[in-house]
Amino acid sequence: MSSVLAATYPPAGDASRTDSANRADSANRADSANRADSAPADSAHWIASTDSAYQTEWLPTRAPAGDGRTNGQRPDSRAVAHGIRGLPQARTVLAVTSRPGVESTALAGLLYAFGQAGARVTLLSLTRGEASPVNSTSSRLEAVRPWELQLASWLLGISSVTVADYPDGELSSCPMPDLAGRVRRAIAEYAPDLVLVLDPAAGSPDDAYVARAVSLAAGTAGVPVAARTTPGASGGWLVELGAETDVAREVQRAAARAHASQSETLPEVLAGLDSFSGREQLRWLVPATIRPPAPRALEQPCLN
């Protein structure tokens, strides 16, 4: 079986750890974002066997009771203390995205809220974002966009960033067991209480494929998956940013500006962010209470 070889950026390690930033006025301190240490080098794996139930029924949804509670899942009391309501309780959150930029334009409000609630926030981008039709720099996108992601993540308070090397714009061509295996290894590394993705109905085909891979990997690992979705989506609930709204949105704008290679589209992006309110919407892809984890499948190296 052939599959895509997953690599990390920078090449020296699997995770780049950056200092957090809680205010958008830190955006001009871009040089600080490069303070990182590296973990041991990465290697790609694939899952030899998968759970057929999660392959065919990968998008379960259930409407929680008003404030994000489902089957005993309680709202985070630390978030409530900050005026943030409806945020699921989590000590560690893993966000998984299809490419650099999604964390800033789509997930930033929620990532900021989780950080304010005291959660450790981590990120896995499955591609380097090289398929973007826009490049406002003289550098190759696959080289510059992971560094832009590091800066944006630093501004958002993300403590650990990993960038894999799957083909941007072509994730659906990757074997699902391979992609799910990469997500599962990130779950094993970071031990999250919650995985956050973009709703497949709200993003690109790559985002939908990522949501499926994450649901498969997290479902068999016994970890709930929440998706940022559109207002009024079936089975969703509101997260109120409350008094943190203005700061959260300013941090989000600063994170969007960190993607300098995409600056040609920045006016349009900022206009879209200006329309965001103090509310975010979540729904479960894998509910907070799910069946016990299945026995862990053997992982083997990818074959070129």
- Domain ranges for the chain: 82-288
Of the candidates 172, 170, 156, which has an alpha carbon nearest to the alpha carbon of residue 128? 170
Pairing of strands 236-240, 225-228: unpaired
For 236-251, the pLDDT digits (tens) are: 999 999 889 999 999 9
- Give the model's pLDDT for residue 75: 56
Q: What is the pTM of this model?
A: 0.73
Q: Does domain 82-288 have CATH number 3.40.50.10320?
A: yes
Is the pLDDT at 32 greater than 90? The verdict is no
% of the chain with per-residue pLDDT over 70: 67
From CA 246, how far away is CA 235, in angstroms rounded? Answer: 27
Are residues 38 and 10 in contact, defined by beta-carbon separation less than 8 angstroms?
yes
Q: Which letter, b or e, does each residue of 263-298 get, where b requires 16 or more Cβ atoms within 10 Å of its Cβ?
A: eebbeebeeebeebebebbbbbbbbbebeeeeeebe
Instruction: Give the confidence band of 256 by pLDDT, cuts at 50, 70, 90.
Output: very high
Calculate mean pLDDT across residues 11-28: 37
Span 253-262, average pLDDT: 97
Query: Average pLDDT, stretch 125-151?
Result: 96
The 10s digit of each residue's pLDDT in 43-102 is: 222 222 223 333 323 333 333 333 443 333 455 566 555 557 889 999 999 999 999 999
Q: For residue range 43-57, list pLDDT tens digits in order.
A: 222 222 223 333 323
- Say what the pLDDT of residue 39 is: 31
pLDDT class of 16 with cuts at 50, 70, 90: very low
Average pLDDT over residues 230-240: 89
In contact, 183 and 96? CB cutoff 8 Å: yes
Query: How much of the chain exceeds pLDDT 90, in percent?
Result: 62
